[in-house]
Amino acid sequence: QVQLVQSGAEVKTPGASVKVSCKASGYTFTGHNIHWVRQAPGQGLEWMGWINPNSDNTNYAQKFQGRVTMTRDTSISTAYMELNSLRSDDTAVYYCALGGGRYHFDHWGQGTLVTVSA
C-alpha cells in the first residue's frame, strides 16, 4: 500500500533553515508529483508547492518563492522540502502529499512539526 513517511520534529531558531524528508513506498516514485502543505497551529491548510520526481520540475506558491526548495532522490524514493530564513510564523506541521490523481492529493504523510523559536 502507498505510504509516505516523514522525518521527525525539528526545533529551529529564527533565520535558520530546515529540511524535511518524505520517503515514499508502495507505488512508482517517479510516476506522480509530491506536494507540500503546511498547517500552522490551530490554522488551516496552506499549499506550498510540488515537485515532479521524474523530471525534477518544481512549482512553488508565490508566497514561498525564493525561500523554499523542493528536491528529490529517486534512488531512495525520497522527496525533500527545505525552507530558509525561518521566522516564528513558519512554526507549523509540514505534510507531504501524493498527487496521485491530476488535481487532488490522495495520500498524505504523517506530518512533521517544525518549531521556530529563539
Partner 1 sequence: QSALTQPRSVSGSPGQSVTISCTGTSSDVGGYNSVSWYQQHPGKAPKYMIYDVSKRPSGVPDRFSGSKSGNTASLTISGLQAEDEADYYCCSYAGSNTYVFGIGTKVTVL
Q: Which residues would be at the binding site for partner 1 (CB under 8 A)?
A: 35, 37, 44-47, 50, 59, 61-63, 95, 97, 101-106, 108-111
In whole angstroms, give the CA distance from residue 75 to residue 39: 29
Nearer to partner 1 among residue 17 and residue 43 (C-beta): 43
In whole angstroms, give the CA distance from residue 101 to residue 94: 21
What's the DSSP call for residue 93? E
Nearer to partner 1 among residue 53 and residue 109 (C-beta): 109
Tell me how far, at minimum, the Cβ of 75 lies from partner 1, in Å: 26
Amino acid sitting at position 115: T
Residue 30: Cβ within 10 Å count: 13
Tell me how far, at minimum, the Cβ of 53 lies from partner 1, in Å: 15
